[in-house]
Structures are given as C-alpha cells and as structure tokens.
Amino acid sequence: MRLLRYLFLITLATSVLHAADLIRPKVIVVATFEVGADSGDKPGEFQYWVERERLVHSLIVPGLDHPVRYNDEGVYGVVSGTTVRAGLQMMALGLDPRFDLGHSYWLINGIAGVSPHVATEGSAAWARHVIDGDIAYEIDPREAPAAWPYGIMGLGNKTPLTAPVIPDWAPKPMQWTLNPALVKWAYELTKNVELHDASEAKAHRALYTGFPAALAPPKVFIGDSFASCRYWHGARMQQWADDWTKLYTKGEGICAMTNMEDHGIANALTRLAALGKVDFQRVLFLRTGSNFSMPPAGQSAAESMVAEYAGMIPALEAAYRAGSPVVHALVTDWSHYATEPPAAQK
C-alpha cells in the first residue's frame, strides 16, 4: 500500500513537471551487485564506481532494491540485482516518470566467468552480442543420444547442433546485437588500458596449460556475453555456450564471458526502447573475468566451480579501468554525443 501511495504521489508530482525538470542522465552505469556499503569496505561491482566517480548523491526509485547514486556531471550508478531478474529492476527505472532516458548511454558492467579459450582472469570484453542461454529444451545428458555433445538444444530443434528454428509461441529474440560502431569506438578507446594483475590470478592461470589465451596477461578485447540464470561450469558446458553463441549469431559471435544478468537487462532495455523510453543504440555491455568458466587439468568441474575467485579484484578493477574512459569521453563531449552516438574510429 505504501508503494502504491508513493507511486501515486510521484505520478501526481511529475504530471505538472515541465520538461526542463525531468532527470536526464548522460551515462547510466549498471552494476549487478554490491556487498556491504557502497564505499569504504570490501568492494563489489558498484563500489569503485561510487568512490572514483564521486557518486555522492542518492535517489530512491520504486522497484529498485538499491538507491540510485549520481554526481553533478550527469553520471548515474544503478545496482540491478543479480540473475535474469535484473531486467525487472531496469524496467522499473525506465518507467519512472521522473526520468527522461531518451539520450542516456548505458554501460552494463560486471564480473563474469571468462572462457580460457579466449582470455584470462582480469580481462575485459566489450560485447557485440548478448545471447540468452536460458530458454531451451533439456534432458539429462545421460539420457541423450550418443551423438549429442550435451542434453540441451534450442526450442523448435530436434538435435543440438542444428540452426535454431524458434517456434511462433516462443519468446524472442534469443540474441541481441549491439550498435557495432559504438562497440568498436569503446574498444578503440580502451584497448591499450593498463589492467590490474595479481599474484593470485597469475598463479591460477598458470594451471591452464594448453590454453595460450588463459596463460597470457589480462587484456581488453571484443568478445560476446553468454547469459544464463543457471550458474554452470565445465568443459562440456563451455562447448554448449560456444556452440549456441555461434548458432544464434549465425557464426559471428565468440563466447567470451558467461554471466547471469545480461539477457534480462538486454530484454528490458529493448522493451523500453520499443516504448520510446530508451535508445538501444546507446547501450554497451562490458564483462570482466573474475574466474574461468571451466577447470584446469587435474581439477574437477565440481571443485573448480566453488573455488574462490582468483581474479576477483583484477576483474573489479578491469571494469572500472576499461569502463571509465568511455564514461568520461561521453560526458566531456556531451554537446556532440547527446544528439549522435560516437562512430568507430577510422
């Protein structure tokens, strides 16, 4: 009842607002979780953004579990919550009548499981595609035909490795393609950023013999986001994510980072764009590797899945170090980027 009354009061108040009184963020930084306080203690995904961008102001938005933080330069920070349910909180933000988000840029960032086939812990990947790994047919792999690599396949299919034929009744899309010029611009701006490394991460990646990308130092690169509400792990599951990324992007995608939120957030922002609330051409997804998505030789998937993240602090640092130059560039040149998204550098 209190929430309904609060929403009524907000609606009543905003009904008489002039356009100039609406809140117009320049950049919205979305993290998925924080632990403890927003500053001064053990960091989650949000803390470095709050501290380093001086997000000193706060605002309560009905439907969001965490206060929105912001500074005087137009940078807003949001904690979406974890798993696919993060999309519900993004819908609540997008539908709040106090905001005009039509020209806002979105930087969704957070830690992820990085594929040792493509990069190492502490690396940062700008996504071209976000893939939904939740919606599927599934049987226990022990009951699957011998020719199947796993017991999962796309809705409407009869075998796992055929191109998906999504039925009319099934939800769509299963993948979202981001603005390629904006993604390339963000990558070119940050590709030479010095990323944080740590002795724990170095020792852990040394176990991944036979995976040159995992043995290399952290890097900024372009790689896609594979999102699923199930926290999966292991070589066979990584093969599934690799295959689905290729199938749903018609061979263009490279599965780089696994997470539990990006498909929910992409779905919400797409729906808000259809309502004229958000410009999906201004959305970026940045994921950073806190752990590998499969174990090294000699360790079981069950053991590896629950091990402490060796790359946690490097991943949190990578999110800020790779993400903040993009935020600063957008704010600094707002007179240009307010009306037109950045184009990729030639």
CATH of the domain at 56: 3.40.50.1580
Q: 2 in a domain, yes or no?
A: no
Q: 151 in a domain, yes or no?
A: no
Residue 190 structural domain: 23-135+171-337
Q: Which range is least confidently modeled, 15-29, 244-258, 294-308?
A: 15-29
Q: Which range is least confidently modeled, 68-77, 81-90, 142-151, 158-167?
A: 158-167
Q: Is the pLDDT score of 330 beyond 80?
A: yes
Contacts of 173 (CB under 8 A, 6+ apart): 132, 270
pLDDT value, residue 2: 52
The pair of three-digit structure tokens given for residue 108, joined into one six-digit string: 């969704």
310 touches 121 (CB < 8 A): yes
Q: Which range is least confidently modeled, 9-13, 77-81, 121-125, 292-296?
A: 9-13
User: Within 10 A of 281 (CB to CB), how many other CB atoms are there?
Assistant: 12
Q: 36 in a domain, yes or no?
A: yes
Q: Is the pLDDT score of 93 beyond 60?
A: yes
309 touches 290 (CB < 8 A): yes
Find tokens 């976000």 and name the residue: 130
Q: 78 in a domain, yes or no?
A: yes
Alpha helices, DSSP H, located in 234-288: 235-248, 262-274
Q: What whole-number distance in Å separates Cα of residue 159 and Cα of residue 234?
A: 21
Q: Is the pLDDT score of 345 beyond 60?
A: no
Contacts of 327 (CB under 8 A, 6+ apart): 27, 29, 53, 75, 107
Q: Is the pLDDT score of 346 beyond 50?
A: no
Q: What is the mean pLDDT of the chain?
A: 94
pLDDT value, residue 164: 85
pLDDT band at 165 (very low <50, low <70, confident <90, very high): confident
Q: For the segment 47-74, what is each residue's pLDDT rounded down to a tens digit?
A: 999 999 999 999 999 999 999 999 999 9
Q: At what angle do helices 262-274 and 86-95 cross, to 10 degrees?
A: 30
pLDDT band at 189 (very low <50, low <70, confident <90, very high): very high
The pair of three-digit structure tokens given for residue 80, joined into one six-digit string: 């979406």
pLDDT band at 344 (very low <50, low <70, confident <90, very high): low
Q: For the segment 242-280, what is each residue's pLDDT rounded down to a tens digit?
A: 999 999 999 999 999 999 999 999 999 999 999 999 999
Q: 346 in a domain, yes or no?
A: no
Q: What whole-number distance in Å separates Cα of residue 291 and Cα of residue 289?
A: 6
Task: Give the torsion through C-alpha atoms of 238, 242, 247, 252, to 10 deg.
Answer: 160
Residue with the bigger pLDDT between 1 and 295: it is 295
Percent above pLDDT 70 for the chain: 94
The pair of three-digit structure tokens given for residue 286, joined into one six-digit string: 């940045």
pLDDT value, residue 8: 54
Q: How many domains does the chain have?
A: 1
pLDDT value, residue 6: 47
pLDDT value, residue 290: 98
Q: 313 in a domain, yes or no?
A: yes
pLDDT value, residue 62: 98
Q: 277 in a domain, yes or no?
A: yes
